[in-house]
Amino acid sequence: MSAAKQSNTSRLSSSKQPAMSWPSLRPFLWVAVVLIALLVLMPFIMQIVAFWKYDTTTSSIADQVKQQADQTQNLLNLLNTFAAIIGVVFAVFAAVTVALGVYGFSTNNGFRDLEKEWQDRLDELAQKSTAIASLENDMQKKNEQLKELQEESADLRDQLQKNVTSAQAQLNKQVEEISIVIRHLGMTRSLISNDPRTNFALGRILSGGGDYDKAIELLEATALLDPTFPEVQRELGLTYRRRGDRYNSIGETREGEADYEMAIQKLQESVRQNPDDVETVAILGGLYRRKGDYRRAMDYYRQAVAVDPTSSYALGNVGSLAWYLGDEKLAREMFARTGQAAQERLDTLESLAPYWDYFDLGLSQLMLGKTEDAKQSYAKAIEFTPSKVHFEGVLNNLSLLKKNTHAHAIPGIDEIVEMIEAAR
C-alpha cells in the first residue's frame, strides 16, 4: 500500500505545475521588449531622418528656426504619444502579470486542495485496510471457537442419543413386562373397556409384545367405540401385517396373505382419514414390498416422499427399490437426499430413534461409494439400537440391493452385513 501511496503522491506533485509556466511566457515577453524598444527609438530615428533631409543652404534662417520649432514640437508630441502608449503597454503588462499571478495562485491552491483530498483518501484507505486485517483476525478466532463448539456439540449429541436409546430400551422392557402381566389376566374380553383410549393403549402394548390376537380384538373394539379415534386404523393395519409376517415365517402362507389383505384395508382407511400421515403411507409401501409388488411399493414410498420430502426412511426405500429395478440415476439421487435428511435430523437432535437415522445415513454413504464412512455410521446405529428385532429390516434391505445383478458390485456391503449379523 505504501508503494501505491508514493506513486499517487508523485503523480500529485507532478500535476501541481501551473498551466502557464515561465518557459511558455518567455517568447511573449521578448516580443513586448522589442516593441517597447522600437517605440522609444522611433522618435529619435525620425528626428535624425528629418535633420538629414533638411537643406540649410536654400532656406532662410527664419524658416530654419520655424522648421526646427515645428520639428521640436512634433517630437514633443510624439514623445508624449509614445509615453502614453508605453504607459498603456506597461499597464496591460502589469494587468497580465497580476492576472497570471492570481491564476497561478488559485491553480496552486486547487492542486493543494486536490493533494489534500487524495491524502485524506489514502489515509482513509489505510484505516480501512487496518480494520479489514483486524476483522480477519477476529473471524479467524470466531472460526476456531466455532470448531470447538461443534466438537462439544457432537459429544453432547452422542451422549443425548445414548441417553435416549437407553431410555427407550428401558421403556421397551417395561412394555414387555406389562404385556406379560396382561396376557396372564385372562381372556381378552375381560380386558375390554368402555374407554376407547384404554383399549387402544392395551392393544398397542399387546401388539408390541407379540400377542397379536388379543391386540386385534382390543383395537377392533376401539374402532367400534370410536371410528374416528386417531391412529387406531394404522395400529390395526400394522398388527395385521405383523401377524401375517409370523404366519409366513412358519409356512402358513394362506393365513399370512389373508392378514396382509386385512392390513392393506386398514392402512388405506387410515390414509383416507389422514392423507398427510407419512408413517402410514410408508407402512403400506413396506407391506407391498413384503408381497413382492415392488412397483406398487415404489408408488407408496414416492407418495410418502411427496408428503414429507425430508423423510429419510421414505427416501431410502425409494432409492433401494429404484436400484433393484435398475434405475440407478434415480437411486443415486434418492440416496444423496437420504443422507442429507438423516444428517440434518442427527444434527438437530430431532429424532427420538437416532439408530434409524444412522442406518439411513450409512445406507446413503454405502450406495454413494463412501465405504469407510458407511461402516462408522452402521457401527453407531448398531450401538444405539435398543432391540435386535430392528436388524431384520436392515438386513432384508441390504439383501434386496445385492439382488440387482445388472448393477456393479457394492463395495463394503458384505462387511456391513457381517457387522449386523454379528450384533444380531
One pLDDT digit (tens) per residue for the chain, 424 residues: 444 444 444 444 444 444 445 555 566 667 667 766 666 666 666 656 555 555 545 455 556 566 666 666 666 666 666 666 666 666 666 666 666 666 655 555 555 666 777 788 778 878 877 888 888 787 888 877 777 776 766 666 666 666 666 665 565 555 555 555 555 444 444 556 778 888 898 888 888 778 899 899 999 999 998 888 879 999 999 999 999 989 988 999 999 999 999 999 999 999 998 988 998 999 999 999 988 999 999 999 999 999 999 999 999 999 999 999 999 999 999 999 999 999 999 888 777 788 899 999 999 999 999 999 999 999 999 988 887 777 888 998 999 999 876 767 899 999 999 999 999 8
Which CATH class for the 309-424 domain? mainly alpha
CA distance 389 to 394: 10
79 residue type, one letter: L
User: 3-class DSSP state for residue 226?
Assistant: coil
Nearest in space to 167 (alpha carbons), one of 178, 159, 156, 177: 159
- In what helix (H) or strand (E) does residue 222 lie, and over which residues does it extend? helix 212-225
Are 371 and 187 a contacting pair, CB within 8 Å?
no
User: What pTM, to 2 d.p., does this model score?
Assistant: 0.57
Residue of 213, 202, 277, 282 lying closest to 244 (CA atoms): 213
For CATH 1.25.40, list the domain ranges present in the chain. Answer: 309-424
% helix / strand / coil in the chain, to the nearest 5? 85, 0, 15
Q: How far is CA 48 from the centre of its chain?
A: 101
